[in-house]
């Protein structure tokens, strides 16, 4: 497992490149502090918009389309992949409770389509933030 990168995988680089070409800037592998837990490290983080992106590998995260069960040491790998899936679900729920939008992309997805999904999430967050009560109060105070 030493040869498996935590960051900068091929699919991740392609998605980051597509986001960068579209003019978006982001942080890579940024730890998000979670009270009472270890930090969560999404692959791509948009801190102002609070959007966290995970690029999940088909094998490591148990893709229903492309994930395959290994023939050797299958008991170990099945348990490992289930642990990964449980961790993914918990991290998504924890980040959502903290106000983050979590986007999960499979490695087999088209990078440009994945980037479009991420950009759509960023736009939804921007629209939500522009009509939040705090910004409405600030606008009302500025015009008064």
Tens digit of pLDDT for each residue in 47-69? 999 999 999 999 889 998 887 78
Here the CATH number for the domain that contains residue 19 is 3.40.960.10
Residue 2 lies in a domain: no
Total number of domains constituting the chain: 1
Q: How many CB atoms lie within 10 A of CB 10?
A: 11
In this prediction, what percent of the chain has a pLDDT beyond 70?
A: 89
Residue 102 host element (H or E): strand 101-106
SS3 64: coil
Residue 4 lies in a domain: no
Residue 56 lies in a domain: yes
Residue 21 lies in a domain: yes
CA 15 to CA 13: how far, in whole Å?
5
Angle 4-108-91 (CA atoms, 0-180°, nearest 5)?
A: 65
SS3 32: strand
Q: How many CB atoms lie within 10 A of CB 24?
A: 17
Please state the rounded mean pLDDT for residues 11-16: 96
Q: Mean pLDDT in the chain?
A: 89
């Amino acid at each position: 497992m030493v040869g498996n990168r935590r960051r900068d995988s091929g699919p991740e680089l392609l998605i980051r490149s597509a986001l960068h070409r579209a003019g978006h800037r982001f942080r890579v592998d940024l730890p998000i502090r979670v009270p009472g837990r270890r930090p969560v490290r999404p692959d791509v983080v948009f801190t102002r918009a609070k959007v966290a992106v995970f690029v999940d590998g088909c094998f490591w995260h148990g893709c229903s389309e492309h994930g395959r069960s290994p023939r050797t040491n299958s008991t170990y790998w099945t348990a490992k992949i289930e642990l990964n899936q449980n961790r993914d679900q918990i991290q998504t729920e924890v980040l959502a409770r903290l106000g983050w939008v979590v986007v999960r992309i499979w490695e087999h997805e088209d990078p440009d389509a994945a980037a479009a999904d991420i950009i759509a999430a960023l736009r939804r967050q921007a629209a939500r933030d522009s009509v939040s009560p705090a910004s409405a109060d600030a606008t009302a105070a500025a015009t008064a």
